[in-house]
Amino acid sequence: MATAFSDPIWRKPQTASTFQSLPNGERVDLAIVGGGIMGLSTALHAARLGLSVQVLDAGEIGQGASGLNGGQVIPGLKYDPEWLLEHFG
């Protein structure tokens, strides 16, 4: 039985997206999309290996989940909040 969900979205025809070039025709060895913790870590390690790197992000670096996580301490986990406060402040 066919339903509205039987054909995945990635199988539908798509048109190619157009993106701006880097300023002044700049070229890099590695372009990283996303300035979160993984993108920045990848950029750092690639740069340390001698690659020229550009990090591209639609917003500000670290503004998403990497920079704005809740940092929650939940009593049901291994360490209770009092222990964490005593040891880490």
Taking only the tens place, the pLDDT of each residue in 8-21 is: 777 778 787 887 88
pLDDT at position 35 is: 93
What is the percent of the chain with per-residue pLDDT over 70, rounded to a whole number? 84
| Structure-model confidence comparison of residues 7 and 82, the more confident one | 82
pTM listed for this prediction: 0.57
For residue 49, what are its two tokens? Answer: 């290996």
Residue 84 has pLDDT above 90, yes or no: no
Q: Is 35 exposed, middle or buried (0-12, 13-18, 19+ CB in 10 A)?
A: buried
Residue 55, helix vs strand vs coil: strand
- What distance in Å separates the CA atoms of residue 76 and residue 89, rounded to the nearest whole number? 19
Q: In terms of pLDDT, which residue wins out, 52 or 36?
A: 52
Measured distance CA(36)–CA(75) in Å, rounded: 28
Contact 53, 32 (CB under 8 A): yes
Please report which confidence band the pLDDT of residue 89 belongs to, taking 50, 70 and 90 as the band edges. Answer: confident
